[in-house]
A and B are shown apart, each in its own frame.
Chain A
């Protein structure tokens, strides 16, 4: 009978279940008391939630830009014969004044042709001394022509044969789309994040290499000194691994400055060194001891043994782990910005804190895309090593 093999107190099944259910119920009640969830709040702030979600879901990606403007002008001799009249071209956007010259306080008609349909136009005088004198704005008609009455004011009298000119600035209607400023910012910050992760992974990997050999029982745990090193390195690695990268990053942000990518690099490097050190050491421990024995027997030095018998066995694992960790680090570094680690996370937290939800939406979209792409890339690359 199994009861004989496990001689311990066994409650009847039914009672046991009721007890477990009671304990669970008590736990749930305690959790509700502690966290005080307020469902009413969730419903009453539905409108606010909707606004935020709308902002996040309409990321700021493209920017409307007008096609630009151009300027043309025509000389207006005031009074007549104070300067020659200009010859008006037959095509292209062009201006004419009727009559061709005027005396002060007269009315002239400014006609414009082929200026572009429904375009906004700024009209102004360019006085002989080069000063601008604004008249008013107008709009071209549906065939792109303009016809406006203009007061000829005494200020426009020609000086030394140089006439005043009537100038119009035409703003072409319609617009093009181009990448918004937010996109540029997100791109720059994402760039920082990816390279922050790459640098951290590189530094972390470099430190993890010696640590991994020291934390591998088959390499290090020999004799009293070896065992002491082995256990202390392992304890050290486990201790660091129990720190969340976020905690680490906020500590480093206090030291090197909030929003400084270097804080993120430091935090991720330490975490990567500890994590890869542990993973690598397990990889070292699982190698085939045969080649080590064979090379020792042939008179190779300990360093040669590591290089020729251990390294070839662990390189594929190491590369694969390191690339995987880069992938993880990009993911973490997007978050690390929130606690001052710099990069896209810092940008995102800034935008959220300033209620700029569509910019935040752009950042979130970028994070999703980058994480997907890296996930795919790293798994593809790792396939090459297995």
Chain B
């Protein structure tokens, strides 16, 4: 159970990214966050693992308060929260295998990891993760030699290495060709269904929201303007969340 209470984030330049957002995410949910660019989706996801420190409000994972954790506690919490990024955030010059192993750093022996030594068990685990996303044959390739879809699969295998309880996916398919969206989201769905991993995912396309989400939150200008089941979102709601001027988004999304 993840609980977000009265979350507010004001950036130093005065931008209010989140305004008093509260919600709960039961274990095993596939929560989709929708909203325009700049509506606070990325800030919300980054507040949950405290890549961004919120200005006000509290976040609890079960009964542990993430927002008040010290740096050691925070690293232990972060190990359990995998993150997938719109721009993949791979180390381009490192190999696919190394990028996958990077997801295990939080568990690694601090001294051995500084020497670049990995236990065989971790390597086996990484190969299994790569196998799961279907790119085990690319393990020795440099990350930047892969296509966008393949790079995002490395991102997923990196998150798998954390054996996460929660996956935060920040627009995981927005940088990809729309036809690739399902090939990526199916892995998130699989983790959600078979491994009972809670997924919190921001998405732009209405059909994807309907297809994958079990619960939806809509953000507009940093405020929560909608919370409910995916089926409750129709054209009108979508328009309300995305604004009158977002005709193109709506049209594309409904196509």
B116 closest partner in A (C-beta): A307
Q: Shortest CB–CB separation between residue B160 and chain A, in angstroms? A: 11
The answer to the question of A295 belonging to the interface, with a C-beta cut-off of 8 Å to chain B, is yes
Are B88 and A297 in touch, CB under 8 angstroms? no
Are B76 and A295 in touch, CB under 8 angstroms? no
Are A298 and B102 in touch, CB under 8 angstroms? yes
Partner of B87, one of A290, A296, A315: A290
Max chain B CB contacts within 10 Å: which of A296, A298, A303, A304? Answer: A298
The answer to the question of A301 belonging to the interface, with a C-beta cut-off of 8 Å to chain B, is yes
The answer to the question of A46 belonging to the interface, with a C-beta cut-off of 8 Å to chain B, is no
Partner of B92, one of A288, A293, A301, A304: A288
Complexed CA–CA distance, A161 and B110 (Å): 94
Are A297 and B93 in touch, CB under 8 angstroms? no
The answer to the question of B152 belonging to the interface, with a C-beta cut-off of 8 Å to chain A, is no
The answer to the question of A133 belonging to the interface, with a C-beta cut-off of 8 Å to chain B, is no
- A294 partner residues in chain B, CB cutoff 8 A: 83, 85, 89-90, 102, 155, 158
Are B106 and A299 in touch, CB under 8 angstroms? yes
Q: Write the A281-297 contact mask toward B (1 if CB under 8 angstroms, else 0).
A: 00000001011011111
Are B85 and A293 in touch, CB under 8 angstroms? yes
Are B91 and A297 in touch, CB under 8 angstroms? no
The answer to the question of A72 belonging to the interface, with a C-beta cut-off of 8 Å to chain B, is no
The answer to the question of A235 belonging to the interface, with a C-beta cut-off of 8 Å to chain B, is no
- B94 partner residues in chain A, CB cutoff 8 A: 308, 312
Complexed CA–CA distance, A13 and B176 (Å): 57
The answer to the question of A335 belonging to the interface, with a C-beta cut-off of 8 Å to chain B, is no
Partner of B102, one of A288, A295, A313, A316: A295
- B77 partner residues in chain A, CB cutoff 8 A: 299
Partner of B93, one of A303, A304, A307, A313: A313
Interface size on B, residues (CB 8 A): 37
Interface size class of A (residues with CB under 8 A): 20 to 34
- A316 partner residues in chain B, CB cutoff 8 A: 93
Q: Write the B91-131 contact mask toward A (1 if CB under 8 angstroms, else 0).
A: 11110001000111111101001101000000000000000
The answer to the question of B78 belonging to the interface, with a C-beta cut-off of 8 Å to chain A, is yes
Are A298 and B82 in touch, CB under 8 angstroms? yes
- B168 partner residues in chain A, CB cutoff 8 A: 297
The answer to the question of A309 belonging to the interface, with a C-beta cut-off of 8 Å to chain B, is yes
The answer to the question of A300 belonging to the interface, with a C-beta cut-off of 8 Å to chain B, is yes
The answer to the question of B206 belonging to the interface, with a C-beta cut-off of 8 Å to chain A, is no
Complexed CA–CA distance, A307 and B98 (Å): 12
- A303 partner residues in chain B, CB cutoff 8 A: 110, 114
Complexed CA–CA distance, A296 and B78 (Å): 8
Complexed CA–CA distance, A102 and B116 (Å): 94
Q: Shortest CB–CB separation between residue B182 and chain A, in angstroms? A: 23
Listed A/B pairs (14) with beta-carbon separation below 8 Å: A290-B89, A291-B89, A297-B78, A298-B104, A298-B158, A299-B105, A299-B107, A304-B105, A304-B110, A307-B113, A309-B91, A309-B102, A312-B94, A315-B93
Query: Known pairs A298-B103, A298-B158, A308-B105. 12 more at Cβ < 8 A?
Result: A288-B89, A293-B89, A294-B90, A297-B49, A297-B51, A297-B81, A298-B83, A298-B106, A298-B159, A299-B105, A308-B102, A313-B93
